[in-house]
Amino acid sequence: MNHLTRLDPFDDLFRGFFVRPVEMGNQPQAPSIKMDVKEEGDTYKVHAELPGVKKEDIHVTIDGGQVSITAEVKQEKEVKEGERVLRSERYFGKVARSFQLAQDIDDGRAVAKFSDGVLELTLPKRAATASKRLTID
């Protein structure tokens, strides 16, 4: 007796494809700020991706060698009348990223630019101050 059955892998894939709602796994993750940090002589250069964020919603804080970037993500969606949304992976809220640099930053000369969804920071290093030895009277 021969009990071989021929299986068609595409049959299961496409069976009911247009009848069932699309299932894509877990809930979407909150977006993260992806960035590059480079050291160029006496400055640090930071490029951070913030797609879909407005310039007014980005805040950069410098405290010594600690740099913090926060942004408020507001992605509006438009639902047309009669349209049924099967899945939405949009995020509303705040994203933040902090990192520590090896040297303190001269925050008075630091520059931030935002263009095409990329935040560019030019962070000059603070001139190292020589330690001073105190004489005791």
Please give the mean pLDDT across all residues of the chain: 79
Residue 91: which region, alpha, beta or left (left: phi > 0; alpha: psi -120 to 50)?
Answer: beta
User: Is 15's pLDDT higher than 60?
Assistant: no
CA distance 92 to 2: 59
| C-alpha dihedral, 97 to 47 to 32 to 106, nearest 10° | 10
Give the pLDDT confidence score for residue 83 in this predicted structure.
Answer: 75
Which amino acid, one-letter code, is at 110? A
CA dihedral 114, 119, 124, 126 (to 10 degrees): 110
Measure CA 20 to chain center: 33
Torsions phi, psi of 43, nearest 5? -135, 160
**Structural domains of the chain sorted by starting position, each given as residue range(s) with its CATH number in brackets:** 30-76+91-127 (2.60.40.790)
pLDDT band at 136 (very low <50, low <70, confident <90, very high): confident
Query: Which pLDDT score, from 0 to 100, does residue 29 have?
Result: 55
Residue 43 has pLDDT above 80, yes or no: yes
pLDDT at 31 over 90: no
> What is the pLDDT confidence band of residue 105, given thresholds at 50, 70 and 90?
very high
Give the pairing of strands 58-63 and 66-74: antiparallel
60 has pLDDT over 90 = yes
What type of residue sits at position 86? L
